[in-house]
Amino acid sequence: MSHADIILSLRDVQRRYSQPVDLIERLGRMLKGGGPPRSVLAVAGVDLDVRAGEVIGLVGESGCGKSTLGRMLTGILPTSAGEIQYKGKPVHKLSGAARREYELGVQMIFQDPFSSLNPRMRVLDIIGEGPVVHGLVKRSGKEAYVAELMQKVGLDPAYRFRYPHQFSGGQRQRIGVARALALQPAVIVCDEAVAALDVSIQAQVLNLFIQLRREFDLTYFFISHNLGVVSHISDRVAIMYLGRVVELADTDTIFSRAHHPYTQALIKELPVLRTGQRQFDPIKGELPSPIDPPSGCPFHPRCPHVMDRCKVERPLLKDINVGGRQHLSACHLPPGPLQANSPSFQETS
């Protein structure tokens, strides 16, 4: 991968939140001689290169830090440590025209099409005001610009004077897509962008994303808790667990040769297309609290392959590829398929 191909780079990106402390706890700390307030490392150090034009899927359970990471990519949230680069330049050092290029160039589509649109604004203004304010289009050309975008996302331009409540959920998400496209971005971060929609509408909106990617030469960072949704659209998939990427590979490799037991468990949770039923047990246990993460491998309390070493030594993300394509995994198990008689492969009756 040449540096020219990389549009976004993440280097040890972290986000820490301090736990809110109430008055009684603060007084208690003062009496005991202080001590820093407890903090949560929501994103605990992510390294990732996103190539121009590719779709990266980021998958993990609710609370794993994936939405926080998405917000840091778009600049909505600052990083606590580490660095994000856009087209090779650290975003925290950008100013002037370069800052503006980044802010317009990386847009976000949110999960909830019901709350992410201003209910008091007409669709014409929701989609068209941003590009006018940023000088991408003249005010006199706004209506024609919005009409063209509405057509591109499958909405009738005749509805441009309507308000968000006059549209269905799927149509509202299309408005959100048009609003993002209107700023002529290079990268769109989609945060659970189809999760709030009915399954049949989800497929339509996913197809729209695929079509727009070709037409506008877009790069997507597609965040979802649902590996099945991500597999339809992604070139590569990153699996996130408790603030860290634990496996990263192209989509085919993830489905045919997943190495990390957490990825394997996510795959086993997917319903089988033919029967609509799950093949195996869902993942045991719950995501541990990031306030007090487990020692060693953070997945060890739930892992069917746990060894003594896993409880004390955190596995680093390393390349385990055999065929030349990058395949990163953070697990102490040796590369290669798991044994068929291992606990996680016991089929349930």
Residues in the chain: 349
In our burial notation (b when 16+ CB lie closer than 10 A, e otherwise), range 159-171 reads bbebebeebeebb
Residue 242 within binding range of ligand SF4, rule CB under 6 A: no
Q: Least Å distance between CB 29 and ligand SF4?
A: 35
- Verify binding: residue 232, ligand SF4, rule CB under 6 A: no
CB of 1 to ligand SF4, least distance (A): 27
Site membership for ligand SF4, residue 245 (CB under 6 A): no
Locus of tokens 């606990």: 343
C-beta of 170 vs 290, nearer to ligand SF4: 290
Q: x-or-dash pattern for ligand SF4, window 4-43, by CB under 6 A? A: ----------------------------------------
Residues 6+ apart with CB under 8 A from 168: 201
Stretch that binds ligand SF4, among 222-230, 277-285, 286-294, 298-306 (CB under 6 A): 298-306
Angstrom CA distances, 156 to 115, 162, 169, 302, stand at: 22, 11, 15, 49
Q: Does 338 bind ligand SF4 (CB under 6 A)?
A: no
Token pair of 100 as six digits = 């503006």
Nearest to 208 by CA among 151, 127, 124: 151
Strands (E), the chain: 6-18, 39-51, 55-59, 81-86, 89-90, 106-109, 187-191, 219-224, 236-241, 244-250, 318-319, 328-329
Q: What are phi and psi of 83, to 5 degrees?
A: -145, 140
Residues 255-284 binding ligand SF4 (CB under 6 A) are 260-261
Token couple for 143: 């209506």
Nearer to ligand SF4, 220 or 241 (CB): 241
Q: How far apart are CB 246 and ligand SF4 at their closest, in Å? A: 7
The residue among 113 and 261 lying less far from ligand SF4, judged by its C-beta, is: 261
The Cα–Cα gap between 181 and 152 comes to: 10
Write down the least CB distance from residue 39 to ligand SF4, Å.
Answer: 24
Residue 287 binds ligand SF4, judged by CB under 6 A: no
Site mask for ligand SF4 (CB under 6 A), range 303-322, x = bound = x-xxx--x----x-------
* CB proximity list for 101: less than 8 A, separation 6 or greater: 86
Residue 348 Cβ vs ligand SF4, minimum distance, rounded to whole Å:
20
Burial 38-47 (b: 16+ CB within 10 A, else e): eebbbbbbbe
Which region among 31-39, 139-147, 250-258, 293-301 touches ligand SF4 (by CB under 6 A)?
293-301
Nearest CB to ligand SF4, comparing residues 25 and 313: 313
Q: Is 333 a binder of ligand SF4 (CB under 6 A)?
A: yes
Closest separation between CB of residue 244 and ligand SF4, Å?
A: 11
Q: How many CB atoms lie within 10 A of CB 48?
A: 21
Q: Does 299 bind ligand SF4 (CB under 6 A)?
A: yes
Do 302 and 296 form a contact (C-beta atoms < 8 A)? no
Smallest gap from residue 331 Cβ to ligand SF4 (A): 3
| Binding flag, residue 71, ligand SF4 (CB under 6 A) | no
Closest to ligand SF4 by CB, 157 or 335: 335
| In the complex, minimum distance from the CB of residue 164 to ligand SF4, in angstroms, rounded to a whole number | 44
- Using CB under 6 A as the binding rule, whether residue 243 contacts ligand SF4 is answered as no
Q: Indicate left, alpha or beta for 347 from its phi (over 0: left) and psi (-120 to 50: alpha).
A: beta
298 within 8 A of 220, measured Cβ to Cβ: no
**Shortest distance, position 301 Cβ to ligand SF4, whole Å:** 8
Contact residues: ligand SF4, CB under 6 A: 260-261, 297, 299-300, 303, 305-307, 310, 315, 331-333
